[in-house]
Chains A and B, each alone.
Chain A
């Protein structure tokens, strides 16, 4: 099946030139909260991707019937219902993951990317494009989270996904020269890292004249 140019653009755009975090500056709050370690960042990225894609499709399917005046409420109801259902299913079939996500799962509802994409894209586009847009934005969000979490966990705790990466013998406590950067564990550092990524991203894309 050949996808139209628009469908491809809906998926690929948010990964780079129209990235939800870097360009639309959405979802920053959760990017600060869940990026201390790689694992919650990965799980959060995947969950947001699934929820954005699903709610985009649902809203896109009913978009022509939604009364304009209550459209935001309707979008919110769709998202909240989906998040609740996903969390119930996780609790029943993947209890450990549900516990790991705990508050983050609820946080998805408040993620600005969701409302942003529903309002800006799903309300005016067909279901297939909306699905691709949801997936694209979800992945676009996820990879930023993963990059930030990678740096923060590696330099903040010397680990990746919970495994020790920096050798124990390097640490000052064991007679070495190295110490973890406590600053990396603070939420402010996520903001600084996101800022650096935006800086790099802008300077590259500006050169290409985009």
Chain B
């Protein structure tokens, strides 16, 4: 018997079967390849960060190189994304993730800052679909290298970002600039805006004084939420104790002004004990 392929019932059943087969097929493929895809995406991110850190991974294993450089992840109040701390040739570098909007789609990147949270050590850009030859050129060494050594703060220490401007145009007072890519005005403006808005999102971290870490003795301004090794090393006195006692979110204490978080009484108690002993 030849089926009537034009009947309503056949059409509906056919559509349903088709959809189910395709859905199952796609689900199987997706699940089967997920682990590999995620590993690839992770490796890709690590490679991008290595590029931002001016590391050459053409020979050798990028993942191993990444592991050997990465230290820890910091998250400050008010910062929207994680900041990753690296150690390159003995010096601390911070990597901030950037994301913004280009002409055709999203653009992003990683900015590596020196220990002073001001000087750009390296930078890397990526984009979803900027025009090859124009906006797409933001990934090139020629564009990126303009940023090396630039400062994101002015002489007074205010956060100013870096402007991407057409050749010949001067930036605002106190702001440093790089040349936009000729013919890619909107992408270049996108990069400029991305830097300005993203750096603002990291302002808590960027404006935070790291005097504590340098002086090594007083813990006046040291905030030790997250209690990373960096914090423990730098604040020998109060912060250190505070961290050891498992305090996660305390603003460390200085003289008479104690300001411990409510969520962690242990920290506050420990400090009080210390004071009594004094």
Q: Which residues of A contact B (CB under 8 A)?
A: 34, 36-37, 40, 64-70, 73-74, 77, 81, 84-85, 88-89, 91-93, 95, 99, 102-104, 153, 156-157, 182, 185
Contact = CB atoms under 8 A, between A and B. Distances in A.
Interface of B: 5-6, 10-11, 14-15, 18-19, 22, 25-26, 29-30, 33, 36-37, 40-41, 43-44, 104-105, 128-129, 131-134, 183
Contacts of A156: 133
A91 B14 contact: no
B18 A77 contact: yes
A67 B105 contact: no
Contacts of A185: 131, 133-134, 183
A73 B18 CA distance: 10
A208 to B, nearest CB: 37
23 contacts: A34-B132, A37-B133, A40-B132, A66-B5, A67-B5, A67-B14, A74-B14, A74-B15, A81-B26, A85-B25, A85-B29, A88-B29, A88-B30, A88-B33, A95-B37, A95-B43, A95-B44, A99-B44, A103-B128, A156-B133, A185-B131, A185-B133, A185-B134
A36 B44 contact: no
A173 to B, nearest CB: 11
Nearest to B34: A92
* 9 nearest A-B residue pairs (beta carbon): A95-B40, A92-B33, A103-B129, A92-B36, A67-B11, A36-B133, A37-B132, A36-B132, A81-B22
A36 B44 CA distance: 25
A68 B8 CA distance: 11
Contact of B40 (A73, A81, A92): A92
Contacts of B131: 36, 185
A61 B25 CA distance: 18
B26 A95 contact: no
Contacts of B18: 74, 77
Contacts of B132: 34, 36-37, 40
A66 B15 CA distance: 9
Contacts of A68: 5-6
